[in-house]
A and B are shown apart, each in its own frame.
Chain A
Amino acid sequence: QQQVKQSPQSLIVQKGGISIINCAYENTAFDYFPWYQQFPGKGPALLIAIRPDVSEKKEGRFTISFNKSAKQFSLHIMDSQPGDSATYFCAASKTGANNLFFGTGTRLTVIP
C-alpha cells in the first residue's frame, strides 16, 4: 500500500499565488521528510527537507509545514512563478533505513 499519500494530483496556480501540496503518512517511525522537484526529462532534485523536531522550515519561497500529531506535512510555494511549473514529490524515510517512500506526485502549472 502507499506509505505516503499525496494530494492534489494536479494544481494550477496564477503567477504570484501560493501553491500548496499536502502529504500524509502512517508510519510513526518516519523521521525524515524531503520534497523533490522534477522537470520533464530530468531526475527528481531535492528541494527542501524537514525532520519532526520542528514544525516549519523555510528556504526562500519554499516552506514545509509539519504536523506530527496529524502525521501530515505540506509544501507551500509563495509567489509562485512559471519556472516553478514541475512535478513535486513528497517522501518519507526513517533514519538509517534504505528506502525513501514517495508520494504519487503533484503536477504544478503556474499560469503567467
Chain B
Amino acid sequence: DAGITQSPRHKVTETGTPVTLRCHQTENHRYMYWYRQDPGHGLRLIHYSYGVKDTDKGEVSDGYSVSRSKTEDFLLTLESATSSQTSVYFCAIRGTGTEAFFGQGTRLTVV
C-alpha cells in the first residue's frame, strides 16, 4: 500500500455539510493526488500537490479544496457536500518515476 493511510474508510454525511478526508503517507513522497472513482468513469483526478502548500487542480476540481501543511498529510475538503459527490475517493502518491500508488480508498455517501 506504499505507506498510504486514508481516513475515514467510510462516511455518510448529509447534503450541505462540510466533509474532510485525510491522506497520510509515511515515505516522504513529494507528489500526492486525490482521485474519485465512479462507475463508467474510471478514476478522475480532483487535485494534486507537488509539495507543502503547493497544490493544483485536476480535471474534476469543482466543489473540492485541498490543503497540504505537512509533507505527510494531504487533506481533501468538500465545502458543502452534494449527492453528486457520492463516490469512492482514492489518495495516491507518485513513486520515484512516473508510477502512482494508491491508498485503500474512502467510500463517501452524501444523503
Contact = CB atoms under 8 A, between A and B. Distances in A.
- B-side interface size class: 20 to 34
Given A46-B100, A89-B43, A98 B90 contact: no
Given A89-B42, A105-B42, A43 B103 contact: yes
A42 B104 contact: yes
Interface in B57-97: 58-59, 90, 92
Interface residues of A, number: 22
A104 interface: yes
A109 interface: no
A53 B69 CA distance: 39
Given A46-B101, A99-B58, A102-B42, 12 more contacts: A34-B99, A41-B105, A43-B1, A43-B92, A43-B102, A43-B105, A44-B90, A45-B102, A98-B33, A98-B50, A99-B59, A102-B44
Interface of A: 4, 6, 32, 34, 36, 41-46, 49, 89, 93, 95, 98-100, 102-105
